[in-house]
Structure 1
Amino acid sequence: MQWRTLLAFAPALWSAVAALPSADDAETQFGRDFYSDPTLRDPLWWKYGLNASAEYKYFHEPGRDDILGHYDSRYFTEPVDDRERADTLTHMIRAYLNFFNENELETWIAHGTLLGWWWNGKILPWDWDMDTQVPDTTLAYLADHYNRTVVQYKSPDTGKEREYLLDINPWSRQRERGQGHNIIDARWIDIHTGLYIDITGLSRLEPDHPDIWQCKNFHKYRLKDIYPLRRTTFEGVPAKVPLQYDSMLMDEYSEKALTMTRFHNHTWFPNLAEWIADETLANLTIKLPEDRQYE
């Protein structure tokens, strides 16, 4: 067909296209099955290109055990030893908190990281990763303004230069759990090792209970238990924790988590305000009764 013939048909074709019903009209005229593509009614698709019916996992780990499950696959080469892990996590949380403070971004420590703060303001020595939380408004702001930011950091004690990636999961735009592949909304990743801080957002998802905030992993909190945030320090730098941190920890871990002084091959020494590994105690030839508890 020559181009003149096509040109002649163009007005008729355009009229036919314009006459097609909209999604709303189609539902009215032909029933709800007229459009089977769920993206037609998915605001995530229209605004961000995310098809909720085809949700994929964004963050990946090299394994699922206690060791490999705590590295980001993109930056993982091999597991680090305990000393390097502890050193990496300490500087990673310092850099994270400093970055959020300097940019006036709201965040607070959570879960096992908060439990470590409760005991002595430090990371629990057996932890492999850390957890923080942010309001969903802060999460959206991070996605719009700071996604894929690489932060340079120099260790004040050794002068060692480190780099961290702030990576916002595109599925953080989906505030409900969805298919459960993306309960972690963002990560602060040590580029050298692949160790990371998990960042999760909290949202109001129950219209009848606007005072309840929750993450995608079904952790629910009352607004009055979080705010006003308490100012404190963690690993020697300014940090924030929820107002009712003690009740939140007991709800999540039980009261035992605040009283047990033997756990995960470590013993709590109140005079030192430190968890000491049993292996370290053995090397120091300190013999302890098996059932002794330390107040």
Structure 2
Amino acid sequence: MQLNHLFTLGALLLPAFAAPSEVIEERDPMTRQGKSHQKPVDTKYFHEPGGNDELGHYDIRYFKESVSYEERGDTLHHLIRSYLTVFREKNIETWVAHGTLLGWWWNGKIMPWDWDLDTQVSASTLTWLGENLNMTFHNYNWTNEDGTEGQREFLLDVNPNSAERVRGDGMNVIDARWIDVRNGLFIDITGLSETNPSMQPGIWSCKNFHRYRTRDLYPLRETVFEGVPALVPYSFDKILTEEYSARALTKTSHEGHHWVPEQKEWVRQGNLHSRKPHVPRSLQTEENPKSGLGNLLRVL
């Protein structure tokens, strides 16, 4: 596998100053006198083609059409593998979070009903990304089992509002994205920071009100996710139960999928009685499948 950092696309950077708000004039039908008001400013940086569970998970700049279940699984598989590999090669600390962490807990893989992926970085790492790797494209190359080769391109885009570490109007809770430029599917990257170190030392939070103690995050644990080295928080079980409840670690049916212990896989319920059910690449059973816990190697 070879990953090459290509170039910085300066042309896509936001202008230093936003354009003035559009002024709209209205006339009162009774007095025929004009009055004007400002059109609300769109403060959101990342935009999606829609707001539902499906269309809300594409970057609008690269969206063409909704992808199939199979293509979605394949895209997410290569998204996370490329992201984790590039960050590790560049010695950038990052770890899997939220639903992606829950998928790791079950079997070290992406849950098949997920539309996007989540990772976290520290605020200092986020600042470094913005200063050094913002708007950079990365080539990801791999060799398939049959000897054929594949290549895809990904964009790392850091939200210019990421330096603001409070929620604000809630339009920019996502600090950065790793985007597949073929179809617009992405990884959401959020930064964690001690927003009130004098009153709440050791409490890390993102803009979406997720809070963690330093001892629950660090030291990060070395593991494997989707077949490549990855990091997870130290107290991953506590973090998962606080965010999703303990039932999320035992519930075996969800979103039209059922957990099959013999395969250590989530399988679409319509495929349960098929002799050879189709499973996306990101969910294909390994020769000796292991759970995320089984992949845990050591504490850094």
Query: Which of 108, 111, 115 is equivalent to 2:95?
Result: 108
2-structure distance, mates of 1:263, 1:84: 20
In proportion to residue count, which structure has more strand?
2
Q: Structure 2: where are the runs of 5+ without partners?
A: 1-15, 19-39, 278-300
Contact 1:61 1:72 in 2 (8 A): yes
Question: After the TM superposition, which residues 1-295 of structure 1 pair with which residues of structure 2 at under 5 Å, given as runs?
Answer: 56-157=43-144, 158-206=148-196, 207-284=198-275
2-structure distance, mates of 1:92, 1:285: 26
Larger relative contact order (Cα-Cα within 8 Å, sequence gap ≥ 6): 2
Give 3-state SS (helix, strand or coil) of 1:160's partner: strand
Q: Structure 1: where are the runs of 5+ without partners?
A: 1-47, 287-295
Mean CA deviation greater in 180-189 or 274-283: 274-283
Residue type at the aligned position of 2:63: F
Give 3-state SS (helix, strand or coil) of 1:154's partner: strand
- Cα–Cα, structure 1 residues 242 and 285, in superposed 2: closer, same or farther, change >3 Å? closer
Deviation of 1:285 after TM superposition, in Å, equals 10
- Cα–Cα, structure 1 residues 98 and 285, in superposed 2: closer, same or farther, change >3 Å? closer
Give 3-state SS (helix, strand or coil) of 1:176's partner: coil
Describe the superposition over 1:259-283 as per-residue Cα deviations: whole angstroms up to 9, x where unpaired.
Answer: 0111111111112111111011144
Describe the superposition over 1:217-245 as per-residue Cα deviations: whole angstroms up to 9, x where unpaired.
Answer: 00000010000000000000000000000
Deviation of 1:155 after TM superposition, in Å, equals 3.0
2-structure distance, mates of 1:54, 1:145: 29
Residue type at the aligned position of 2:81: R
Deviation of 1:72 after TM superposition, in Å, equals 0.2
Describe the superposition over 1:56-85 as per-residue Cα deviations: whole angstroms up to 9, x where unpaired.
Answer: 100000001111010000000001101111
2-structure distance, mates of 1:104, 1:155: 21
1-structure distance, mates of 2:142, 2:77: 10
Contact 1:91 1:155 in 2 (8 A): no
In proportion to residue count, which structure has more helix?
1
- Identity fraction in percent: 55
Residue type at the aligned position of 1:229: L
- Cα–Cα, structure 1 residues 193 and 248, in superposed 2: closer, same or farther, change >3 Å? same
2-structure distance, mates of 1:241, 1:285: 33
Give 3-state SS (helix, strand or coil) of 1:125's partner: coil
Give 3-state SS (helix, strand or coil) of 2:162's partner: helix
Larger gyration radius, structure 1 or structure 2? 1
1-structure distance, mates of 2:206, 2:232: 17
- Cα–Cα, structure 1 residues 205 and 161, in superposed 2: closer, same or farther, change >3 Å? same
Residue type at the aligned position of 2:177: R
Residue type at the aligned position of 2:173: I
Deviation of 1:161 after TM superposition, in Å, equals 1.1
2-structure distance, mates of 1:49, 1:253: 41
Per the normalisation by structure 2, the TM-score is 0.76
Deviation of 1:55 after TM superposition, in Å, equals 7.2
Q: Report the RMSD for the aligned CA atoms in angstroms.
A: 1.9
2-structure distance, mates of 1:232, 1:283: 32
Deviation of 1:156 after TM superposition, in Å, equals 2.6
Contact 1:155 1:162 in 2 (8 A): no
Give 3-state SS (helix, strand or coil) of 1:75's partner: coil
2-structure distance, mates of 1:159, 1:87: 15
